[in-house]
Amino acid sequence: MGLGTLAHVLRPIKERFRPEDHPDLLVGLARSDDAAVFRVTDDLALIQTLDFFPPVVDDPYTYGVVAAVNAMSDVYAMGGEVRLALNIAAWPDDLDPDLLAEVFRGGADAVAEAGGVIAGGHTVFDKEPKYGLSVTGVVHPDAIITKGGAQPGDVLLLTKALGTGIVMTAAKQQRAGADAALEAAVASMRRLNRHAAHLARAAGVHAMTDVTGFAIVGHAAEMAEQSGTTFHLDARALPALPGTRELAAAGAVTGGASRNREQLGDRIRLAADLDEETGHLLYDPQTSGGLLIAIPEAAAEALRGQIAAVEGDCWVVGRVEAGPAIVHVA
């Protein structure tokens, strides 16, 4: 669902539950973030999130892994640890249930890797398969990381390359070169953000989010708005999955990218000389994307190196400056 539509349908909930009436709700709809956070004691807060979507790959086990990793990513973006998950599944009644068992097996393996447990869930019949998780995590109330802490002078780091939407679209369209690109995309989507988040938390980051459906510029815009700062992204520094730019040039562009471009509007300011493929990459909705991190410049290179050593790479993609809550890309 697009940003504008989402804001519209959430209005009744915001009107019904006022923040001043729920002081233990530390992060909720009053300030849009990756997950809700509720204080239980002075030393413990629960992180709650939920995500599910239709298949993004053909293999049911891999689909289960990717959907679970994607759902858990919100907990890591808030600086927390995964503890408990529940399956959410919709399944056609004429589709082999053994395939759903493989989806569940993939999700279970991903949650086990994260150190959590799946304790149940809920299934319904539907014409189109869908799978995901409701995830509960934990964090100390004083250690919550939100989108809204970026400060002028911060450096922006990105922990995964971009382009999963373009690659998966190309694979569905059976475009030349899509199979090789899909292999790299799947490897990226299967990788937990857990270790990168651990390192970011220890380094004292100011703000963090995971890059998913609203694309790199959409999530950067959310951070800029929550922080009251201007984000500058370096188009030349943005990492792309192998083959992504070529596939975009061949026409493998998602409908979600067009919606992102339309709904973000003038919150995003693009340099006039940006090439078309970079534009597609900027608005490309991601599945199980990386973390976008705002950290003081003095600590940025050390953190970048630490994450790269564990994850294979990490990129400096921009900076934060004082100014209006917009995103400049040049």
The verdict on 160 and 307 lying in the same domain is yes
230 vs 227: CA distance, rounded Å: 9
160 band by pLDDT with thresholds 50, 70 and 90? very high
The verdict on 295 and 160 lying in the same domain is yes
Query: Can you tell me whether residue 24 is helix, strand or coil?
Result: coil
- Apex 50 CA angle, 45 and 56, nearest 5: 145
Query: Over pLDDT 70: what percentage of the chain?
Result: 99
| CA distances to 149, 150, 199, 209, 310 from 302, in Å | 20, 18, 10, 19, 13
| pLDDT above 70 for 1 | no
Structure tokens that stand for 45 in this block: 């807060």
The verdict on 129 and 191 lying in the same domain is no
16 band by pLDDT with thresholds 50, 70 and 90? confident
| pLDDT above 70 for 317 | yes
Instruction: Assign residue 166 the CATH number of its domain.
Output: 3.90.650.10
- Mean residue pLDDT of the chain comes to 95
The verdict on 176 and 201 lying in the same domain is yes
pLDDT at 302: 98
Domain span holding position 269:
154-329
Instruction: Assign residue 139 the CATH number of its domain.
Output: 3.30.1330.10
Question: Which residue type, as a one-letter code, is found at position 99?
Answer: L
The verdict on 259 and 301 lying in the same domain is yes
Boundary of a domain, candidates 117, 143, 169: 143
The verdict on 139 and 166 lying in the same domain is no
The verdict on 130 and 158 lying in the same domain is no
287 band by pLDDT with thresholds 50, 70 and 90? very high
H or E element in which residue 155 lies: strand 154-158
The verdict on 85 and 197 lying in the same domain is no
Boundary of a domain, candidates 143, 163, 194: 143
2 band by pLDDT with thresholds 50, 70 and 90? low
Q: 130 φ, ψ to 5°?
A: -145, 145
Structure tokens that stand for 120 in this block: 């149940």
Number of domains in the chain: 2
Residue 148 counted as domain residue: no
The verdict on 308 and 170 lying in the same domain is yes
| pLDDT tens-digit series, residues 221-274 | 999 999 999 999 999 999 999 999 999 999 999 999 999 999 999 999 999 999
pLDDT at 129: 98
Average pLDDT over residues 283-288: 98
Question: Which residue type, as a one-letter code, is found at position 267?
Answer: R
The verdict on 172 and 264 lying in the same domain is yes
Structure tokens that stand for 38 in this block: 């509720």
Average pLDDT over residues 215-226: 97
Residue 16 counted as domain residue: yes
Question: Which residue type, as a one-letter code, is found at position 259?
Answer: R
145 vs 242: CA distance, rounded Å: 31
Residue 301 counted as domain residue: yes
Residue 240 counted as domain residue: yes
Residue 175 counted as domain residue: yes
pLDDT at 3: 63
247 vs 238: CA distance, rounded Å: 17
| pLDDT above 90 for 70 | yes
Average pLDDT over residues 324-328: 97
Structure tokens that stand for 234 in this block: 């370096």
Residue 149 counted as domain residue: no
Decide if 180 contacts 243 (C-beta within 8 A): yes
Residue 241 counted as domain residue: yes
The verdict on 14 and 133 lying in the same domain is yes
Residue 121 counted as domain residue: yes
The verdict on 207 and 300 lying in the same domain is yes
Which residues fall within 8 angstroms of residue 283, CB to CB, at 6 or more apart? 215, 217, 218, 257, 258, 260, 261, 264
Q: DSSP label at 20?
A: G
Boundary of a domain, candidates 143, 165, 184: 143
Decide if 134 contacts 51 (C-beta within 8 A): no
| CA distances to 162, 194, 196, 203, 212 from 159, in Å | 10, 11, 7, 15, 13
Q: DSSP label at 235?
A: G
Q: Looking at the DSSP assignment, which residues form a beta bridge with residue 207?
A: 294
Query: Can you tell me whether residue 269 is helix, strand or coil?
Result: strand
| CA distances to 158, 159, 195, 261 from 268, in Å | 18, 21, 30, 9
